[in-house]
Structure 1
Amino acid sequence: MSWTVREQEVFEGISNWRNDLGAYRGHDLSHTFSRWLDASFASLPESLKEEVFTKLDSGLFHLHSIIQGTHLHKDTIERLMATAQAFDERVTHVTDLKQLRIDQLHYMAVQQSGRHKIYSFLQGGVAGTGGIVAFGTDLLAITILNIRAIQFIASAYGRDVQTPYEMTLSLKLFHAATLPIRYQAEAWDELVSSLETYDLSYFFTGDDELTNEKWLEGPMKQLFKSTAISLFRKKKISNLPVVSMSIGALSNYQLTRRITDFAEKFYQYRFLMDKKTH
């Protein structure tokens, strides 16, 4: 089926965005940090590195399953369905959302990404107050928020993330979106290539690795953010650590904005490719 004028515009926007990713080379500081991280991990035994990344992968799969089992997740899906039914009363299941126009799907995805950007901003601000619990759980909390955001964007585009294929693909997408920007073009191309096996298998048949040394640069930067928060949390204005709260809030917001933007472009691309080939 051919694309509408609007769908062609969306595709061109995605193509330009992908080209910009491919042209990004990073700055000297990021390359220096990357070389330092690579050198640090090079000294570790391969068996230890494999064990660490295997446990991290397993942890992400468990987080994904736990999130799906919460009442909050189910309530959000119900609200998503109610919005979709306002557009088209024939919608009865998440996969039926693919019948809607791309601008309608974008509207629902923006609702979800907007909420999660606010949640992320608030979480970062709370962590910036220096409270032991909030500060200590910030990395876990922001990981959960961003996995949830991708799940709901996927659902907004008619993908049932409870199936093995879509679950693994959404986590691969989380991995790609949280890589340093200079690696994201290659990760995007790998995700696009993995779609070729979608119609052939109920399970994800590609490389299901979620974490590696390149990906670890992101969490390490989050730890540096925590260090900055610690340094500034005693500098208060009106008895509030405004500087550390700002660091936490803005850092988390920027991360979630980058992840949700990457995720929506991917699911828009899938929507367009499905329409073109079916």
Structure 2
Amino acid sequence: MSWSARDREVYQEIELWRQSLNERSGNDLTNVYSKWIERSFSLLPEDIKKEIFAHIDTSLFHIHSTMQGFQLQQDERENILRTAKAFDDSIMQVEDIRRLTIDQLNYLSLQQSGRHRLYSFLQGGIAGSGGAAAFLSDLVALLIINIRAIQFTASAYGRDVHTPYEMTIALKVFHASTLPRKFQGDAWDDLIDTLNHVQSDYFFTGSDELTNERWLEGPGLQLFKTLAIKMFKNKRAGGYPVISMAIGATANYQLTRTVTEYAERFYQYRYLIEKNS
């Protein structure tokens, strides 16, 4: 099926966005932190490093698969299907959603990304309130919110993340979108290369490794947010640590905004390439 004028326009938007990834670079502080992470891990034996990252990868797969069993997850999937049926009443399952136009798919996706950005914003505000439990749970909550956001972006573009292939692809998108920005361009190219070597639509036959030293910089940068929250937690207005809450909310929102934009561009790209093949 050939592209419409709108399809070509969106493809150009994706190309410009991809070029912008090459222009991103860290500031002096993040570059120092990046070198420190690299130096620290270089001191570890290779087998220890592999074991650490294997454990992290396994945890991510478990989180992803566990979330799929939640009733809330299933209800939201049904909501996506119901909204899609408003555009085309012949849609019966997630894969049928791909029959919609790029703008209709974008509408479905933006509903999900907007909701998850709000969740992330609120979670950051709670973390910034200074409570010990809220602070400790922030990283886990961010992990769940952003994986969930990618799952539903995938569903909005007609991808069934219950299958091993789509589950692995979604987690690779999560990995790429949560890398430090200077690495996201190369990660995008790796994702596209993965798509170009598909051997099965159900089972993933490539490398399922997700995390590495570069990826750890992303979660590690949350420490800077934590330090900022701690610095201002005693600056209160009306009994609330407003500055700390604003720092937490803004940092979390920006992360989820980056993740959802990355996922949106990736699934748009897949849709367009498959439509044109």
Shorter-chain TM-score: what band?
A: over 0.9
Which residue is 1:58 aligned to?
58
- Quote the offset at 1:211 in angstroms: 0.7
| Partner Cα separation in structure 1 for residue 29 and residue 132 of structure 2 | 30
| Partner Cα separation in structure 2 for residue 199 and residue 159 of structure 1 | 17
Which residue is 2:233 aligned to?
233
SS of equivalent residue, structure 2 residue 89? coil
Q: TM-score w.r.t. structure 2 length?
A: 0.97
Q: TM-score w.r.t. structure 1 length?
A: 0.97
Which residue is 1:86 aligned to?
86
Which residue is 1:192 aligned to?
192
- Quote the offset at 1:44 in angstroms: 2.1
Q: CA 1:73–1:259 in 2, change beyond 3 Å: closer, same or farther?
A: same
- Quote the offset at 1:28 in angstroms: 2.8
Give runs of aligned pairs for residues 1-278 of structure 1, distance below 5 A: 1-198=1-198, 200=200, 202-277=202-277
SS of equivalent residue, structure 2 residue 146? helix
One-letter identity of the residue aligned with 1:91: I
CA deviation string 1:134-174 (max 9, x = no partner): 11010000000000000000000000000000000000000
| Partner Cα separation in structure 1 for residue 46 and residue 37 of structure 2 | 15
Q: CA 1:226–1:26 in 2, change beyond 3 Å: closer, same or farther?
A: closer
Contact (CA 8 Å) 1:197, 1:205: kept in 2 or not? Answer: no
Contact (CA 8 Å) 2:68, 2:74: kept in 1 or not? Answer: yes
Contact (CA 8 Å) 1:127, 1:138: kept in 2 or not? Answer: yes
| Partner Cα separation in structure 1 for residue 187 and residue 30 of structure 2 | 18
| Partner Cα separation in structure 2 for residue 200 and residue 74 of structure 1 | 25
- Quote the offset at 1:24 in angstroms: 2.5
CA deviation string 1:111-139 (max 9, x = no partner): 00000000000000001111111110100
| Structure 1, unaligned runs of 5 or more | none
One-letter identity of the residue aligned with 1:256: T
| Partner Cα separation in structure 2 for residue 238 and residue 173 of structure 1 | 41
Q: CA 1:27–1:227 in 2, change beyond 3 Å: closer, same or farther?
A: closer
- Quote the offset at 1:176 in angstroms: 0.3
Q: Stretches of 4+ moved more than 3 A in 1?
A: none
> Matched residue pairs, number?
277
Contact (CA 8 Å) 2:153, 2:264: kept in 1 or not? Answer: yes
| Partner Cα separation in structure 2 for residue 232 and residue 218 of structure 1 | 22
| Structure 2, unaligned runs of 5 or more | none
| Partner Cα separation in structure 2 for residue 61 and residue 198 of structure 1 | 20
Contact (CA 8 Å) 2:178, 2:218: kept in 1 or not? Answer: yes
Q: CA 1:191–1:20 in 2, change beyond 3 Å: closer, same or farther?
A: same
One-letter identity of the residue aligned with 2:230: S
SS of equivalent residue, structure 1 residue 215? helix
Contact (CA 8 Å) 1:113, 1:149: kept in 2 or not? Answer: yes
- Quote the offset at 1:194 in angstroms: 0.7
SS of equivalent residue, structure 2 residue 197? helix
- Quote the offset at 1:179 in angstroms: 0.5
SS of equivalent residue, structure 1 residue 50? helix
Instruction: State the Cα RMSD in Å.
Output: 1.1
| Partner Cα separation in structure 1 for residue 224 and residue 44 of structure 2 | 21
| Partner Cα separation in structure 1 for residue 199 and residue 7 of structure 2 | 23
- Quote the offset at 1:201 in angstroms: 5.0
